[in-house]
Amino acid sequence: MHSSPTAPPRSFVWTRRIVLTLLTVFAVTPVYVMLSSSLKPLEDVTGSFQWIPSGLTIRPYLDIWDTVPLARYFVNSLIVAGAATACSVVIAVFAAYAVSRYRFRGKRLFTVTVLSTQMFPGILFLLPLFLIFVNIGNTTGIALYGSRGGLILTYMTFTLPFSIWMLVGYLDSIPRDLDEAALVDGCGPLKALFRVVVPAAVPGIVAVAIYSFMTAWGEVLFASVMTNDVTRTLSVGLQGYATQTEVYWNQVMAASLVVSLPIVAGFLLLQRYLVAGLTAGAVK
Amino acid sequence: MTATALDTPPAGPGDKPPAGRGAARKRRRTGRGRVRRGALPYLLLLPALLLELLIHLVPMAVGVVMSFKELTQRYIRDWGEAPWAGLDNFRIAVDFDAPVGEALLRSFFITCAFTVLAVGFSWLLGVTAAILMQDAFRGRGLLRAIFLTPYALPVYTAVITWSFMLQRDNGLVNHVIHDQLGLTSQPTFWLIGDNAFVSLVLVSVWRTWPFAFLVLTAALQNIPREVYEASAIDGAGIWQQIRRITLPSLRPVNQVLVLVLFLWTFNDFNVPYILFGKSAPESADIISIHIYQSSFVTWNFGAGSAMSVLLLLFLLVVTAGYLLLTSRGRKAASA
């Protein structure tokens, strides 16, 4: 081990087996519950819990769409998270390029201010932001409160600090000679950014995009205040199953699975980028 | 992780152009005009700056202003009209003999206990798994994917599943503890009463440790293999290597990781909100839920804002103190 030619001692191998097995049980149990319960008939989830379903049914997967307007929430979440991610990544690349490649007055102030916003408790600016959105709507007619646009703006800002910080680290690890050569060849700075720096920074950019999308897909607090019936996203909409007079747990689990699947699949496919992006950027 | 740029200036290797090439560049660049060149970094930053202003900084300032106002339901449509309250809101919040202050203080202590436990366990599990999986073995990739799944799941679906598992009559936890193992004489209530605190820590750890694992896995890849090879030649066993090489190398990352975990956990709203709904049981009355409730139940936004400002001040002091301590420790270590 540790690339030494000798095999690791038995004590290490056994520790590893036992600990990793326990952690696996801890990590997957809820996933198993979600999956198995989503395929159970209703009797199985109202009585005492059963590890093995008494019978399998896809009924819950058909019913979830009628109990709450899940399809609409899904589309809303897709629009909000997709747009927020796209905008946030572009803006973060610009900002990170400036911080990584230029010296300018106020650079330290900028980075410190932006990063310190990560410390703010969300509850502190939830209410002011709500009031500002309402007031902007009243004075200019731009509807931010209750609209997808307002939520998109909010989410793209939430993810900016971490994204910029991670990308600065990543861009710093790309040799300056690369874009300087492009500048010498007569490219403008923006052309150098898009032709040379961005292609070299793909793992970092993908990592930032995953992070942004997951944040926007999962946010609850602002979504619960900033959306209305039409623009409601999944994070709030899913709670609709629990407010029914009787909770159909098999449907709740089926809906949870449907909502989780795209994001978990995407995450697991792209996770090596996240590790690479973190290795180069964050933990250096 | 947010803190690396706070205590070390973000001056990358790119701050000084190499001399020879720089001269050629300068000649080329002067043709473009001074003003544009100087303005370019600011133009690149402008979108980020505007967004931060609109969504983060201005609302923050408004929040601080609100905490000095008597902002009750009467004035909510027209909050500029609300009368100034001076320090009244703060006085109410820190009057620990009166019900409001007492409840806030209790909520604060609960949050501290919750944060220490959740961050401690998350870090412990994360670092253990990362170190045990540092070297390749069969199934490591699959195992890594499994461990990251709790982090990848949207927080609400994961926590809803946990709330199902923690149900008294049809949940998995009681089925195992009561029905299968017979450890309790009665099925336990997990989501109300004192046990709610345990449930909250459990779910929070389940959700957070994969992040520690992810960050530490990435950090371990930056330790050069030669260090291990050299120590193996010197006869160091694997346990010694972990103690002497791996753990010390992780120190800088740990310092930042623990700070980030602390801030996220202390401010966490999602997990308790989804686990318990709008009103958390007393034992799990986390500060963000507490403030949310005191704002939206009493519609006294002035008092709620004052509490948020106090919370922010506390976090600022802790973060600054932590950064000061760790950077001093680092200096002492390198000296």
ipTM of the complex: 0.85
Band the pLDDT of B334: cuts 50, 70, 90.
Answer: low
The percentage of residues in chain A with a pLDDT greater than 70, rounded to a whole number, is 95
Residue B57 in tokens: 């900084």
Mean pLDDT of B61-76: 81
Mean confidence (pLDDT) of chain A: 86
Mean pLDDT of B301-307: 86
Instruction: For residues B260 and B263, give the distance between their C-alpha atoms in angstroms, rounded to a whole number.
Output: 5
CA B44 vs CA A192, B12, B47, B57, B305: distances in Å:
14, 18, 7, 19, 34
Q: Is residue A103 part of a domain?
A: yes
> Do the Cβ atoms of A127 and B304 come within 8 Å?
yes
Q: How far is B194 from chain A (nearest CA, A)?
A: 23
Residue B2 in tokens: 């947010």
A263 versus B22: the higher-pLDDT residue is A263
Residue B193 in tokens: 């009463």
Mean confidence (pLDDT) of chain B: 82
Chain A residues with CB-CB distance to B208 below 8 A: none
Give the pLDDT score at B240. Answer: 87
A46 interfacial to chain B (CB closer than 8 Å): yes
Residue B79 pLDDT > 70:
no
Tokens 């909770």 sit on residue: A247
> Do the Cβ atoms of A184 and B225 come within 8 Å?
no
Domain boundaries, chain B: 80-334
As for how many domains chain A has, the answer is: 1
List the CATH number of the domain containing A266.
Answer: 1.10.3720.10
* Most B-contacting residue of A13, A123, A136 (CB-CB within 10 A), to test interface: A123
Nearest CA in chain A to B63: A128
Q: Is residue A94 part of a domain?
A: yes
pTM for the structure as a whole: 0.84
Sign of the CA dihedral with B72 first, then B78, B83, and B84 last: positive
Give the pLDDT score at A186. Answer: 82
Residue A19 in tokens: 């600990």
Instruction: For residues A215 and A77, give the distance between their C-alpha atoms in angstroms, rounded to a whole number.
Output: 11
Q: Is residue A161 part of a domain?
A: yes
> Do the Cβ atoms of A157 and B270 come within 8 Å?
no
* Most B-contacting residue of A45, A124, A211 (CB-CB within 10 A), to test interface: A124
Give the pLDDT score at B10. Answer: 38
Q: Is residue A50 part of a domain?
A: no
Give the pLDDT score at B207. Answer: 94
Query: What is the span of the domain harbouring residue A186?
Result: 61-282
3-state SS, one letter per residue, for chain B: CCCHHHHCCCCCHHHCCCHHHHHHHHHHHHCCCHHHHHHHHHHHHHHHHHHHHHHHHHHHHHHHHHCCECCCHHHCCCHHHCCECCCHHHHHHHCCCCHHHHHHHHHHHHHHHHHHHHHHHHHHHHHHHHHHCCCCCCCHHHHHHHHHHHHHCCHHHHHHHHHHHCCCCCCHHHHHHHHHCCCCCCCCCCCCCCHHHHHHHHHHHHHHHHHHHHHHHHHHCCCCHHHHHHHHHCCCCHHHHHHHHHHHHCHHHHHHHHHHHHHHHHCCCHHHHHHHCCCCCHHHCCHHHHHHHHHHCCCCHHHHHHHHHHHHHHHHHHHHHHHHHHHHHHHHHHC
Mean pLDDT of B152-172: 90
Give the pLDDT score at A112. Answer: 82
Give the pLDDT score at B297. Answer: 74
At the topology level of CATH, where does B80-334 sit?
MetI-like fold (1.10.3720)
Q: Is residue A257 part of a domain?
A: yes
Residue B32 pLDDT > 50:
no
